[in-house]
Structure 1
Amino acid sequence: MKLASFRSSIESEIRLGIIVDDVIIDMESWGIEHDLDLPSTMLEFIDLGPAAVKAVSETLKNIDARSLVATSIPLSSAIITAPIPAPRKNIFGIGLNYTEHVAESARTLDTSKELPQQCVIFSKPPTTVIGPGDSIKHNDQVTKQMDWEGELAVIMGKKATHVSKENALDYVFGYTIINDISARDCRRSGQWIVSKGQDTFAPMGPYVITTDELTDPHNLQIITKVNGVEKQNGNTKFMLFNVNDIIEDISEVISLEAGDIIATGTPAGVGAGREPQEFMWPGDVVEITIDKLGTLKNYIVKA
């Protein structure tokens, strides 16, 4: 199932939508038409658990045109927002999770050239989250090294504590795209949260694909472009720690909960790793495309 959070107009509230072909269906309104008690937000739907995803998916198979007229708008008319515009908790980030990115970081960012033996975990506050088409704010008094990181994001579907890697994917709700924007010159004594946690530094979206449709997250191509020029071209099959490993590792020490978001790391090709180094400035456009998940496009503006 393909989901999105959206507004029908600039003034309207954010609603949860189901995307079918070229329309977006208001889930709550559509549920009323089909005697289903469905919510109006992504987090509320996640909280209902896997049974709700299954029920909606089954009902969609018998969808009729009349119900769409009453409860949908053209996808082209919708204003797509971040899938979870206000996460309940910090986003979990995984650093140095692709071999070639470890190498490029060691060359230019003074990180270790040795491959991590455990997940490198950091976090990004909820205030970092913006949606497709939104502006990433560049404060040149704070950073002159704003960098891109195209990544697969995992959205948890239920509480996970001490979960084994064999069962880890059973706890996932779905997947989306995240851009782990990083100010390379804002690291503090090895700590990354100021580098990665500034306002607007986590563009997300445009869609969430649930696990009933995207069953294997480990063979997805990730392509990042800046001003139309390809900068990253990687694949999730080359993660050092795959989604199963990451969930097992985090849940051993921190309980993951429904709606939690994990950014799974970026492949090689970031600006800091290029020769010469390249960084983003106001006027630039950054796009991330991941197989089956669409394209996330954002604009850099002066803060």
Structure 2
Amino acid sequence: MKLLTFKKDNEVKLGVKTDKGILDLNKAGLDLNLEELVKNENGLSLVKEIINNTGSENYVSEAEIEFLPPLLNPEKIICVGLNYQSHVEEAKLVNVPENPVLFSKFNNALAAHSENIPLPKVGEKFDFEAELVMVIGKEAKDVSEEEALSYVFGYTAGNDLSVRDLQFLTGQWLIGKSPDGFAPIGPYVVPAEEIDPFNLNIECKVNGEVRQSSNTKHMIFNCAKIVSYISRHMTLKPGDLIFTGTPEGVILGLPENEQIWLKPGDEMEVTIENIGTLRNVIA
């Protein structure tokens, strides 16, 4: 099941991608948005029932819709840095983190599949980071690793865009991570029951060239460890997003004389196995 949020005729809609096209769940009678669906214990059952019983008049094609970020107003966007050994090495950091390295983005950074991403007026070194993103499904506080994934509603693809010269301007990464549009996610959220987060291929292409190619099994801290760790320090709420880190292949990891930073017109495609491809163009 691939859930999405979209706009059609100036209305924000909840949909699900099917072989017949995009099913408009709101038109089919489900009076929920994705944030509300995440919180509804019977939400996925309701969606399945509608898929099995709805008529063709409730379907639209992807060409008719505007994709929106699947979740529009998460309370928190938490990101994990340096979570693949290969990325630690290419970033030229000597020590592998003993605990997850956490930082945040804000809702201004959210962007959708197919949305053009404007570059900020400050900064010069613009980089991509393909990442698996978790969507929290229920309140989590002090949860164990063993139970942690039961608090995850689903997974989506994300691109942790970064302004490297701003990221390392001080000891805090924030201003290099949270420009407007620098956290595109989507196109779809796939329910947790359909995804094995411990073994997903993850890839990023820039202008059709593969730049990142790895698997989530190479994470230093897997998804269960991440949720458990964060929940010991703050309460996770339904709809919170967790970017889980990027593998090797970013521009930052290249020799300095080979670093060609993102520029207007560049197309980025983040593909995660069993979820889909998130596509954005730098404006």
Partner of 2:184: 203
- The DSSP-based 3-state class of the residue aligned with 2:27 is helix
Which of 214, 226, 229 does residue 249 from structure 1 map onto?
A: 229
Residues in 1 aligned to 2:144 and 2:68: alpha-carbon distance in whole angstroms: 33
Q: Are 1:16 and 2:3 an aligned pair?
A: no
- Unaligned runs of 5+ residues in structure 1 are 33-37, 107-111
- The DSSP-based 3-state class of the residue aligned with 2:118 is strand
- The DSSP-based 3-state class of the residue aligned with 1:212 is helix
Partner of 2:266: 284
Which of 110, 122, 125 does residue 145 from structure 1 map onto?
A: 125
* Cα displacement (A) at 1:78: 2.5
CA RMSD between the two structures = 1.4
Partner of 1:2: 2
Give 4+ residue runs of structure 1 displaced > 6 Å after superposition: none
Partner of 2:117: 136
8 Å Cα contact 1:272-1:278 kept in structure 2: no
Q: Equivalences for 1:235-274 in 2 at 5 Å?
A: 235-274=215-254
Residues in 1 aligned to 2:199 and 2:253: alpha-carbon distance in whole angstroms: 24
Q: Are 1:52 and 2:53 an aligned pair?
A: no
8 Å Cα contact 1:22-1:76 kept in structure 2: no
8 Å Cα contact 2:25-2:47 kept in structure 1: no
Partner of 1:74: 61
Partner of 2:73: 87
* Cα displacement (A) at 1:121: 0.2
CA displacement 1:225-256 (0-9 Å, x = unmatched): 11111100011010000000000000001100
Identity %: 38
8 Å Cα contact 2:125-2:165 kept in structure 1: yes
Aligned residues: 280
- The one-letter amino acid of 1:283's match is G
- The one-letter amino acid of 1:192's match is W
Partner of 2:95: 114
CA displacement 1:159-218 (0-9 Å, x = unmatched): 00001010011111100011000000002421111010111100111011002222x111
- The DSSP-based 3-state class of the residue aligned with 1:167 is helix
* Cα displacement (A) at 1:60: 5.0
Q: Which moved more, 1:19-28 or 1:94-103?
A: 19-28
* Cα displacement (A) at 1:5: 0.6
CA displacement 1:115-156 (0-9 Å, x = unmatched): 0000000000110001011111113x4111000000000000
Q: Are 1:157 and 2:137 an aligned pair?
A: yes
CA displacement 1:11-56 (0-9 Å, x = unmatched): x2211002211311121232x3xxxxx334111111213x322343
TM-score (norm 2): 0.95
Residues in 1 aligned to 2:55 and 2:214: alpha-carbon distance in whole angstroms: 38
TM-score (norm 1): 0.89
Residues in 2 aligned to 1:285 and 1:88: alpha-carbon distance in whole angstroms: 26
8 Å Cα contact 1:182-1:196 kept in structure 2: yes
Residues in 2 aligned to 1:186 and 1:197: alpha-carbon distance in whole angstroms: 10
- The one-letter amino acid of 1:196's match is K
8 Å Cα contact 1:39-1:45 kept in structure 2: no
